[in-house]
Structure 1
Amino acid sequence: MAFTLATWNINSVRLREALVCKLLSEEAPDVLCLQECKSPVEKIPTEGFRALGYTHMVARGQKGYNGVAILSKLPLQEVGAHDFADLGHARHVAAQLENGVTIHNFYVPAGGDIPDRAVNEKFGQKLDYLTQMRDHFAAERPAKSILVGDLNIAPREDDVWSHKQLLKIVSHTPIEVEHLNDVMQAGAWVDVTRQDIPEGQLYSWWSYRARDWDAADKGRRLDHVWATPDIATAAHGSRVLRDARGWEQPSDHAPVFASFDL
């Protein structure tokens, strides 16, 4: 079974319902994983998505904050959700396709502005969240699985516009990168995006603060698609839909795509 998957931090699914529909109609991924939906599940505007063929959804919602959802043309069933670090946040949901592939959709905490857990509780929560992700996947030893989402870390030097200038900025600090690498190693995850696009600057997020984000191009690759080794070799066609960052009233994230031939 061949399918295409996309992941997108939508920054309010209700506010940007039209943008989700635009993506679904123009790009037509088989599965779309959304983060930061900022909506209770019952208020996610599914009618328009269903009209476009996305008749299946699993989700975890929260009023005004967080929230993750998996929209799909393909039948799927929910197989769980975890509240890592016991934050009480809707940051993870997992679903399984009929071919046995499990999709984990994550929204990792951003971590605030100061990369020091002694003075910034949010940064400590982020590190704890990643540590519990690591421990979970070390125990579970996932197979035939895909992990996507806004992981809020740009791990490689070419995942940010300036490695040197961002070393002390939350999302690219060495301790965050170390924690993310630990998660990856615990599940033997393969970074599908960089498997397909191994070299060069690559971003999926550009700050709202930049007046001309496109020309300034001070981006970071915060959004990821990983797969377990047993299916990673079947992945191809990875891309970032940069144009979506320039749509009307956009999210500050762009969708990331990958296809799998299984």
Structure 2
Amino acid sequence: MRLTGDSILDNGTPFQDYLLEVGEGCCQVYDQYVSIPASIVTYAESIEDVVNDVFGDSLSTGDCYKNREFIVSKAILAAHNSTVDEINELATEKLPGISMVYLSDDSIEETQNSSATNFPVESLNAVKPSGMPPHKLVLKRFQPIMCLRNINPAEGLCNGTRLICRNFTRNVIEAEIAVGDKAGLIVLIPRIILISSDNANLPFTLRRRQFPVEPAFGMTINKSQGQTLSFAAICLIKPVFTHGQLYVALSRVRDPANLKIILLKEPPLSTLTDNVVFNEVLTRTQN
């Protein structure tokens, strides 16, 4: 539904047909890998090379980020949270301007048993469960951020909404919604209390008071589900690791001309990357 009717790869294959083959695991090589069309593949030696390749000189001036359309035009997708964090950190450093640093207030839920409350605050600060903002949140004006909670759905401020930082105060972030029906609307984002989920693999329940946002130069493939991007660069220096991730990443754009797959530059150069597909999930079985 997202693709345009004339989405054709260089070899003449309709892009939608290629996507279906990837999603169903029909074009696997050695049962693990899939071949990416060479026309959309590029190579990088490090995450910094990825940031420079995608954003170029646009981060050095910051003028582009005063334009809302530029925010929604580019994004780097990656499979791992650690890769996304590194992308956002490098991109934020390159953006001119003074950084605003917000530190969270971390504690353990009082309902926990006494043995779980012996963790030092420094250990709690170092934890970043999936779906929660970091302890140290570094932001700059005009940079893209993503909302991590449904704060005000009626005003378009939902989990996954991309915004542009406009101004900062001690307890409020002023931001402009960059996508959707509410694009252009100015909203105020307060600090809130966030509780870690049961699947965070922590021996305690983390209670973090922080702004429910994170930088959005890059985002995880899972977080990008449901979003349509004008241009997507998929960083596969670390390959995908769960079912359907590669299919979700490849299907974020309307045309393969606006898609770039970045693989690790190591000899011999290859267009193969991991594709995780559990066929039993896609087929009907009988007991």
TM-score above 0.5, yes or no: no
User: What TM-score do the two structures reach when normalised by structure 1?
Assistant: 0.26
Pair member with larger Rg: 2
Which structure carries more relative contact order (alpha carbon 8 Å, separation 6+)? 2
